[in-house]
Homo-oligomer: A and B are copies of this chain.
Amino acid sequence: MQQNGLMMERPLLLSSVIDHAAQQFGDVEVVSRETNGSLFRYTYAQCAVRARQLANALKRLGLKQGEAVGSIAWNNHRHLELYYAVSGSGMVMHTSNPRLHTQQLIYVINHAEDRAVFFDSSFAPLVQSVAPHCPGVHTWVCLTDAANTPAIEGVANVQSYDELIAGSSDQFEWPQFDERLAAAMCYTSGTTGHPKGVLYSHRAIVLNAMAGCMPGILSLSPNDAVLPVVPMFHINAWCIPYSAPIGGAKLVLPGPKLDGQSLYELMESEGVTISAGVPTIWQGLLAYVEHNGLRFTTMRRTGVGGSAMPQALIAKFMDTYQVEVRHGWGMTETTAIGTMGTLPPQSKGWSQEEKHALLAKQGRSAFGVEIKIIDETGKSLPRDGVSQGELMIRGHWILSSYYKGEKSPLVDGWFATGDIATIDAAGIMQIRDRTKDVIKTGGEWISSIDLENAAVAHPSVAMAAVIGIKSIPSGMSVPCCLSCGNQEPIWRRLRFFNFLKTRWPNGGCLMTLFFWRPCR
């Protein structure tokens, strides 16, 4: 007969995260690029004060526990306060992706049943388009001060965030409740059909954020300053807005300015040690740094995810700029980070190329989730680094079903990610393709990511995308440099290029699109 341990029973709640930061790291800074471009600066202690003021204001607006509060916003300090006030009060923080098609944005606001929506002033035109179609939203709040809050035609009573909280008490007792209750939600994007809602629990986010602090994942400590380029409107910005206060790291929020120059200047002025974003962001950053002959003074590592980071880009970060690249993997359905790659201790004796190759993989599963790969019949495939199958994941922060979803997306308790991957004996996973994009020819799987990587490794190629087409358009020939017409080096480097001419079973072809750099 088992009995309970005799330990205090306290829930894992997001309010405890901001309380922890305010008490333990009260003087650690949060720096925020505002929507107007200026820099705002305060501490975790001050952030906690404003979050409590906002919690009182939400109550005054008539919002109730369990109701959804929406945001259409960049990464900035008011959005951060919203994260804690909404979830901490027992409401559900629904972050909307402003890049969604207007019809989809209307759909997700109504589907999530947002009662209030907080938006950045740059999204005022978007609000004007969607508001008339969102009758359930009784309050629209612009994340700025009174002077900068626009009047929006057709939207009655747009409030200013600063005015809203100005009169509020900073005394607020965070309610205690079951850690399995919903804290936040986010809709999938880029899918066919309607976006699907994922409802995160307090427990899932806290456990993911704890894992995110670990040295083998993001490694966040009081000696770090972390700049999440990954948006707070998309998979919780990898939970960095929660991990940083847990680990005591300074938090630098870039607002809307995500170009190379803005990011570089912010990294340098704020002593950023770690960042996280998609490969295209890092391409833009490196292009700026290279073009201007600059160096990174404090940056030590960068997390990358969302799509595969070309090995050539990893090499440049590591060898030229001494910035460690940590490739991660996750999706809306996995709250934030599922896996993360780092160099193992035995890599000390490796060549740089071997290191780059390892870091191009998506790494090991974080403690708290498990991964496996399966074939079309559902059979587990060996961890040999060669066998490819659909990546399956389960654990504390993986969805069990979609919001208002009718049928379970799980297979034997595992979530089928739709990604095709390999896992090696050391547990290191590599995404090879999407199930939707996968190519099989002559019985062999071809990874579109490998093709893209091979293309991007060529100095003349800035970006590349592999797509499937029905047939090769007439008049298309082998790629060449648009400036000098030189074909030969590209042929030699693109080992996989001959697949271009290979038809695969359904009769289509594989085409690589290049964005060229001019020859030097």
Residues on A close to B: CB < 8 A? 1-10, 12, 17, 19-20, 23-27, 65-66, 90, 177-178, 180-183, 198-204, 207, 210-211, 213-216, 219-224, 246-248, 335, 342, 344-345, 364-365, 367, 370, 394-403, 405, 410, 413, 415, 425-427
B residues in contact with A403, CB < 8 Å: 6
Do B213 and A248 touch across chains, with their CB atoms under 8 A apart? no
CB < 8 Å: which of B6, B223, B367 contacts A400?
A: B6
Given that A345-B223, A399-B8 are known contacts, is A23 also in contact with B370, CB under 8 Å in the complex?
yes
Q: A5-B201, A216-B221 are known contacts; what are 16 more A-B pairs with Cβ within 8 Å?
A: A3-B181, A6-B401, A7-B199, A7-B335, A8-B394, A8-B399, A10-B394, A12-B396, A19-B370, A26-B426, A213-B215, A215-B219, A215-B220, A215-B247, A221-B342, A222-B344
Give chain B nearest CB distance to A395 CB in angstroms.
6
Give chain B nearest CB distance to A200 CB in angstroms.
5
Do B200 and A4 touch across chains, with their CB atoms under 8 A apart? no
B residues in contact with A24, CB < 8 Å: 364-365, 367, 426-427
Given that A216-B248, A221-B216, A248-B216 are known contacts, is A182 also in contact with B400, CB under 8 Å in the complex?
no
Do A8 and B398 touch across chains, with their CB atoms under 8 A apart? yes
B residues in contact with A19, CB < 8 Å: 370
Do A66 and B3 touch across chains, with their CB atoms under 8 A apart? yes
Given that A24-B365, A215-B213, A365-B24 are known contacts, is A400 also in contact with B7, CB under 8 Å in the complex?
yes
Given that A23-B370, A210-B210 are known contacts, is A182 also in contact with B10, CB under 8 Å in the complex?
no
Do B247 and A216 touch across chains, with their CB atoms under 8 A apart? yes
Specify which of A5, A342, A425 lies most central, judged by the most chain B CB atoms within 10 Å of its CB: A5
Specify which of A7, A344, A364 lies most central, judged by the most chain B CB atoms within 10 Å of its CB: A7
Give chain B nearest CB distance to A268 CB in angstroms.
17
Can you list 16 A-B pairs, Cβ within 8 angstroms, ordered by A? A2-B182, A7-B204, A8-B394, A8-B400, A8-B410, A17-B367, A20-B365, A23-B427, A24-B367, A27-B425, A210-B367, A214-B214, A215-B223, A215-B247, A216-B247, A247-B367
Do A180 and B247 touch across chains, with their CB atoms under 8 A apart? no
Given that A220-B215, A342-B222, A396-B10 are known contacts, is A202 also in contact with B25, CB under 8 Å in the complex?
no
B residues in contact with A425, CB < 8 Å: 26-27
B residues in contact with A198, CB < 8 Å: 6
Do B4 and A201 touch across chains, with their CB atoms under 8 A apart? yes
The 9 closest A-B pairs by CB, nearest first: A5-B201, A215-B221, A2-B66, A24-B427, A6-B199, A5-B182, A7-B204, A24-B364, A1-B66
Do A216 and B222 touch across chains, with their CB atoms under 8 A apart? yes
Given that A26-B426, A223-B345, A364-B24 are known contacts, is A181 also in contact with B7, CB under 8 Å in the complex?
no
